[in-house]
Structure 1
Amino acid sequence: MNLSVTILELSGILDGIRGNELRRQMSGVLANGSDIVLLDMKEVNFIDSSGLGALVSAAQMVRNANGKLFVCSISDQVRMLFELTKMDRIFQSFADQEEFKRQVLATQ
């Protein structure tokens, strides 16, 4: 089975404006038939509440399209925020793109 994988690299502050961009990007990615989306958050240094909301709605969009969403390379600050908000239960996280490829793509 040949799965379509898209990697989105996010950067800076994930706020309302960036969150809306993420939703638009996600719509486009899913419209193009992507099965798996990886959000690489290596360059993200802060997420506010509207950014968290955008991540949740991105996850719902992917789920509604019967896809899978993963995140990788989250900073300690973002990891702490994910744990506090229980987002770590929603998102399966990997150390980096290499670990994602080893664990997810190798098993497909």
Structure 2
Amino acid sequence: MISNVKVLNLSGILDGIRGNELRHEVSNLMDNGADILLLDLKEVKFIDSSGLGALVSVMQMVRNANNKLYLCSISAQVRMLFELTKMDRIFKTFADQDEFNRQVLATQ
């Protein structure tokens, strides 16, 4: 079976407002058949606690639907935040979309 992969390119600051938008976007994508979601964080400069909460919420939504969520292109600052909050253990991350394509899509 070929997976329906959708990529969301996030940018700016991931805070409570943007987090709510992200939850709606992910929910809509899954309603429309996406079963693998890649969040590209290349343009994300900062994530606050509400944004982290939104990422965890999105992960739970995706898992509850038996779908998969991946992150890529995380900045050094965001990576440090993930390591401090142990989020790096929860999310599968890739250096960029190319690495995601090689490791995830090539095995489909």
TM-score range relative to shorter protein: over 0.9
Match in the other structure for 1:71: 71
Distance (Å, rounded) in 2 between the aligned partners of 1:83 and 1:69: 18
- The TM-score with structure 2 as length reference comes to 0.99
Distance (Å, rounded) in 1 between the aligned partners of 2:32 and 2:38: 15
Aligned to 1:15: 15
- Alpha-carbon shift at residue 38 of structure 1 (Å): 0.1
Matched residues, number: 108
Percent identity between matched residues is 75
Equivalents in 2 of 1:90, 1:68: separation in Å? Answer: 12
Task: Identify the residue that residue 51 of structure 1 maps to in structure 2.
Answer: 51
Alignment of 1:79-94 (within 5 A): 79-94=79-94
Gaps of 5+ in 1: none
Secondary structure in structure 2 of the residue aligned to 1:33: coil
1:83 CA displacement: 0.5
Q: What is the root-mean-square deviation in Å for CA atoms of aligned residues?
A: 0.5
Distance in 1 (alpha carbons) for counterparts of 2:61 and 2:100? 21
Amino acid at match of 2:23: R
Specify every segment of 5 or more residues in structure 2 that has no aligned partner in the other structure, as ranges: none
TM-score normalised by L of structure 1: 0.99
Residue 28 of structure 1 is matched in structure 2 by 28
Secondary structure, counterpart of 2:107 in structure 1: coil
Q: CA deviation at 1:33?
A: 1.4
CA distance in structure 2 between the aligned counterparts of 1:103 and 1:43, rounded to whole angstroms = 22
| Aligned AA (2:70) | F
